[in-house]
Amino acid sequence: MTTPVATHADASMARFESETTRYGSLTMIAGLVFSLLGPIYLVFFSGLEITGPMVWIAFVAVAATFGVFWFVEPLTYFPILGSAAMYQAFMIGNISNKLLPAAIVAQSSINARPGTRRGDLAAVMAIGGAATVHLTSLLVFVGLLGTWLVSMVPASMIEVARLYILPALMGAVLVQAIVSMKRLRPTVIAVALALLFQFVIVPAAPKTALFATALVVVLSIILSWVLRDRKEVHVATEVD
Amino acid sequence: MPHIRPLMANPTSTDIWAVANTPILWICALGVFAVIFVQTFLYIKAARRAAPHIGMPTRELKESFRAGAVASIGPSLAVVLVAIALLALFGTPAVLVRIGLIGSASTETASASLAAISMGTVLGGPEYTQQVFAVAFMAMSLSGGMWMLSTLVLTPVLKRGGKKLAKANPAVMALIPAAALLGAFSMLAIAELPKSNVHAVTLMISAATMCLCLFLAKLLNARWLKEWALGFAIMVAIAAAYLMHTA
């Protein structure tokens, strides 16, 4: 990594990272402000006679259930997304059911591995593409036509979509992830861990359900490293 | 067209849309959309500047953008369907920001439900008043805000940690993203298995459709099929779920 080309590439990736960190955090703060302004207006300025305790108690009720995820989710997705895409993902939302699949498809379509430079840029572009499609379809189908569509789409169709969208999506995404990663041992380890958690550990200790995904991610990383094929030439040298 | 009415707030009224679809909420929702468009634009500009220096042709950037866009059509339409179903509870601006963006349908509906229960009522129940809606909306938004806040705080910390690790052990850094991704999706997929027989079969059909698409894509050397595969798999699996569910 001492050739001039590599140094040059390092420097421009470093610039890319500092630019995306600056743009990313500024836009995220702006998004945070806009997302809070609406409810703040309703609560304080619209005469709905809402008291402080009402808001605090409701917030604590939500925090008790989801507070863990505020920290666990960024930790879980950071190794997959990389720092630039973190600021995109946590503002656009629908990370596991839309943004990650989009990133995997894009990376496999140009044969880039996640965590490499090409992989990172491909993920950022893919999330950009996904965001464009997503925002446009939301604005048109929910924003403009939503109240009309609500009377048009049969209730049974909405019900089926709501109930079964996750299995319909996750089966395909798991296959795509396995095929595009092309790593046998981590795949076997990850699937075995997931089966173990879903059918043994969580039923035995239901409280672990909250952390199951995060634990499987962490253990997959650790076991994939410990049980790696030591005869394999260092993969790091073939990246980019 | 959006309903824009003068604000007629009444804490005990159950006419949620009278407060949920007010212009100020619309402006804030559109503000979030605008911010994301600006972010996307700035990020793409930064990626285009960096790509030539790492030996990545502009063609590959364009392909990645297109692949991401195509792959997200299926999931986006699914989110749209669910969002439409929730309009009655939260009104358009709150649905756009909370369910469409930032969060996801399951987390945000659960948050709103918890908030409503903390006020002694349930979502959509006879006592789901404008006041309850406003508190639920506030609680959802604060919780979503905490996600963003912890992303803002944790990302730079994790980035420094990652850099140190990459220096000490580059092979680990090549392995971590793949293992993390496989771990996350194995768990997310397998968690669907025990929910019901229809869930399990839907999951299998989705996986099988993806296998078939990828196999055909390789056989026929059809790259477009690799990009559309996710959309096809979702459509086939949902259609099968519809038949099984209504049968």
Q: ipTM value of the model?
A: 0.80
Nearest residue in A to B83, CA atom? A142
Q: Residues A192-215: pLDDT tens digits? A: 999 999 999 999 988 877 778 888
CB pair distance less than 8 Å for B151 and A90:
yes
In the stretch 166-205 of chain A, residues with CB closer than 8 A to chain B read 166-179, 181, 183, 186-187, 189-191, 193-195, 197-199
In the stretch 41-80 of chain A, residues with CB closer than 8 A to chain B read 41-43, 46-50, 54-55, 57-63, 65-67, 69-71, 73-80
DSSP B53-96: GGT--HHHHHHHHHHHHHHTHHHHHHHHHHHHHHHHHHHHHHII
Per-residue pLDDT band for A235 (boundaries 50, 70, 90) equals: very low
Give the span between the Cα atoms of B112 and B89, in whole angstroms: 10
**Torsion from C-alpha of A186, A187, A188, A193, nearest 10 degrees:** 80
Per-residue pLDDT band for B229 (boundaries 50, 70, 90) equals: confident
Per mean pLDDT, which range of A20-34, A48-62, A220-234 is the poorest?
A220-234
pLDDT value, residue B231:
82
Q: How far is A207 from chain B (nearest CA, A)?
A: 15
User: Which residue has better confidence, B67 or A69?
Assistant: B67
Does residue A208 sit at the B interface (CB-CB below 8 Å)? no
Percent of chain B clearing pLDDT 70 (strictly above): 95
Q: Helix, strand or coil for residue B6?
A: coil
CB pair distance less than 8 Å for A20 and B136:
no
Q: Residues B105-141: pLDDT tens digits? A: 667 877 888 888 888 887 777 888 899 999 999 999 9
Q: Domain map of chain B by residue range?
A: 1-168, 170-247
User: Angle at Cα A227 formed by Cα B189 and Cα A191, nearest 5°?
Assistant: 10
pLDDT value, residue B240:
95
- Cα→Cα distances A199→A174, A185, B115, B193, Å: 18, 21, 31, 10
Q: Residues B53-81: pLDDT tens digits? A: 998 999 999 999 999 999 998 888 878 87
Q: Domain map of chain A by residue range?
A: 4-182
pLDDT value, residue A5:
57
